[in-house]
Structure 1
């Protein structure tokens, strides 16, 4: 999986699949071996801080351009981390502009079925490839529909998309897996405004996938990113679900980086052709275990944060329920004293003990158990890390080989 900055760059590069883009003067990306490239073609690109191999392209009907890329790890494309990107509207392409108009209506863009077939063809012809992510910009936010159909995480930028074009099955999947989908939009983006007036009132339910941010620009270059490569989101109630989705996606990005590093190490250790020593095998197994445990611990931490928020809300609501009920009971009349009000409430089982103390004790007990499991994850990670260090310390050859990686 890739971070937002890398996906933004891929959306900028994909236009060059079209041989006519930029009057045909720029080198275009094609799916070819290096030796077969023509003068005006290339098959690798840089996005974010990574190099990618272009492994499939489509310059198809209705103005569609798309490409699939795989990150280059130790000189080879990693087909377990494929990203598919579809080009947005090229204002110099009349057919592209026409489909942009269609895309703003309930019929949807005719480019979407072409994108769907492009993804489907790759999955059928290359079952060994793993498509981890889809992305699009502006008109090509229809990749959200493709993602919902094939259940692939999708990120789009400045995307107008009529969610009403989703099938019943796609709507159900998107609703139940909203964290799979992110549609970054700006509240005053004039280009998307004419589609749905930048308001959910003029569109169907987006299932919480649209992330509204301040700004007017429709340009890809104007998005701002933090040091992790994710779009900067203000911390407010409107963006909480998007922030959580970003955290989950960032974990996937970090996992991919760790696994890529492990792949490089394995290739380095096996480069001599003599097989792996016992210590080298132990190191690789331990490192893989450490990466997996760290990922599980991070996932658990995110889940813990969600549970803590739920329990904290429940505690607050219990306290408010008690105070509001007392207030309403007191206002029923002035003849009853405070103890008589409380005694009357007690007769129907409504006491501070039953409403606040007992539930909060249960909530706190569950939180304590959750924190215990989190602590166990930390302990396990530390134990594995210590074991890795021990292996490296007692094997000087292994230590020397790792120093150069």
Structure 2
């Protein structure tokens, strides 16, 4: 899986596609380095294609693939969209007309010569960045039809990245983006509703720009950083505010506000492990089903059966770990609710010692503070989430079992063939 840190670096580098902003703009074949906190290179990405629409609407984007064993691994492709360049009037118009007004066209002004010596200002209507972003994504999808594609971006870039991911049913991880729900197709709106966890828009609680346009896509993970709450402070919107651990995962400070964000992040990790694991296993299953012979005769699906088994075991163990952590968090949440209710009752008794137990309960009920509202109903939601997680686990386990069975069959067939030839 591509890490949060990698997505952040790619989102940041997308800005460098803009030739108006950069004397040495990013172009095809450029290698982008991802470094850890010690400045050690941990990953590299090769730029496959860029889009720099500086004249019409100002949209910039790039498609990249991770470099594995010295070559780009195009089974995974990330499309990174650039955010607003404050010096680019087309970006500013996009923020107003597309993000603010949900328009799919961009109206600009151009000066043209008139019959006199003066020039005249005329309106020019072109496709909005949202339109060209989808076109660029479609171009990449057609060029790499077998790739697992995801999107990223920052600010306006994440707005476009969310749009593209929702319309194409792709994964997304981005930062500080306004929500594009208002311009999604009906099909995309239905998809985001039924597929929580596929879109991730990390938002700083104090960021006035990144929190625009609500959260219709459900992608928001809003995090309170140790920065106060001044929404007009520009640093709240900066990519540099986000920090990552040694594995490249975004660090969410542990505080009372971030309890929901931490739970959402756990659910996201579970969903992404499930999605990516299922993709890997389904591809493996398809290859095995296409095999007419043993592993060694089927165009060398893998060099040896142990390598294929290792892929299955890794996908299975990573998913099980994510599921265990998520269920544990749900269970801890249920215990926290019970503790909170007991604390509420205890405080009420201490402050109204002259009231009977029944009178205290009646007073709490009048404030909609009951065991049902604080414990029973929320716990039902937690139980539903645990049940869904277990259903995902059962589906995952069935596929793993099926692949292992097929793998054993192929190995046995391969061994029999070897004996016959020997």
- Name the TM-score class by shorter chain: 0.5 to 0.7
SS at match of 2:197: helix
Q: 1:72 aligns with which of 64, 67, 71?
A: 67
Over 3 Å counting, the alpha-carbon distance change for 1:237 and 1:76 in structure 2 is same
Q: 2:269 aligns with which of 247, 257, 260?
A: 247
SS at match of 1:21: coil
Structure (1/2) with the larger strand percentage:
2
What per-residue deviation string (whole Å, max 9, x for no partner) do you get for residues 90-130 of structure 1? 112111121122243141572111111111122223324x1
Report the Cα distance in structure 2 between the residues aligned to 1:311 and 1:168, rounded to whole angstroms: 36
Matched, 1:136 2:153: yes
Over 3 Å counting, the alpha-carbon distance change for 1:103 and 1:213 in structure 2 is farther
Q: Is contact 1:103-1:162 (8 Å) kept?
A: no
Aligned 1:120-269 pairs, distance under 5 A: 120-128=138-146, 130-142=147-159, 143-192=161-210, 195-196=212-213, 203=214, 205-207=216-218, 209-214=220-225, 215=227, 217=235, 218-235=237-254, 236-248=258-270, 251=273
Once the 2 structures are TM-superposed, how far is the Cα of residue 220 of structure 1 from its aligned partner? 1.5
Question: Which residue is equivalent to 1:20?
Answer: 20
What per-residue deviation string (whole Å, max 9, x for no partner) do you get for residues 352-391 of structure 1? xxxx9xxxxxx9xx99xx8xx99xx9xx99xx9xxxxxxx
Once the 2 structures are TM-superposed, how far is the Cα of residue 304 of structure 1 from its aligned partner? 4.2
Once the 2 structures are TM-superposed, how far is the Cα of residue 185 of structure 1 from its aligned partner? 1.1
Once the 2 structures are TM-superposed, how far is the Cα of residue 298 of structure 1 from its aligned partner? 2.6
Point out 4+ residue stretches in structure 1 off by more than 6 angstroms. Answer: 252-256, 280-283, 311-320
Report the Cα distance in structure 1 between the residues aligned to 2:317 and 2:97, rounded to whole angstroms: 46
Over 3 Å counting, the alpha-carbon distance change for 1:245 and 1:26 in structure 2 is farther
Q: Is contact 2:50-2:62 (8 Å) kept?
A: yes
SS at match of 1:227: coil
Question: Which residue is equivalent to 2:9?
Answer: 9
SS at match of 1:226: coil
Q: TM-score by structure 2 length? A: 0.60
Q: Is contact 1:164-1:204 (8 Å) kept?
A: no
Q: Is contact 1:106-1:165 (8 Å) kept?
A: no
The count of corresponding residues between Structure 1 and Structure 2 is 305
Aligned 1:324-403 pairs, distance under 5 A: 331=358
Question: Which residue is equivalent to 1:46?
Answer: 33
Report the Cα distance in structure 1 between the residues aligned to 2:78 and 2:163, rounded to whole angstroms: 16
Report the Cα distance in structure 2 between the residues aligned to 1:8 and 1:70, rounded to whole angstroms: 15
What per-residue deviation string (whole Å, max 9, x for no partner) do you get for residues 156-190 of structure 1? 21112242322322122112212111111112224
Question: Which residue is equivalent to 1:118?
Answer: 136
Report the Cα distance in structure 1 between the residues aligned to 2:275 and 2:27, rounded to whole angstroms: 25
Q: TM-score by structure 1 length? A: 0.62
Over 3 Å counting, the alpha-carbon distance change for 1:250 and 1:163 in structure 2 is closer
Once the 2 structures are TM-superposed, how far is the Cα of residue 80 of structure 1 from its aligned partner? 0.2
Report the Cα distance in structure 2 between the residues aligned to 1:7 and 1:106, rounded to whole angstroms: 28
Over 3 Å counting, the alpha-carbon distance change for 1:315 and 1:213 in structure 2 is closer
What per-residue deviation string (whole Å, max 9, x for no partner) do you get for residues 245-264 of structure 1? 453377489979x99xxxxx
Report the Cα distance in structure 1 between the residues aligned to 2:215 and 2:25, rounded to whole angstroms: 40
Report the Cα distance in structure 2 between the residues aligned to 1:316 and 1:51, rounded to whole angstroms: 42
SS at match of 2:264: helix
Q: Is contact 2:172-2:200 (8 Å) kept?
A: yes
Once the 2 structures are TM-superposed, how far is the Cα of residue 135 of structure 1 from its aligned partner? 0.5
Q: Is contact 2:201-2:219 (8 Å) kept?
A: no
Higher mean alpha-carbon deviation, 118-127 vs 211-220, is at: 211-220
Report the Cα distance in structure 1 between the residues aligned to 2:17 and 2:336, rounded to whole angstroms: 55
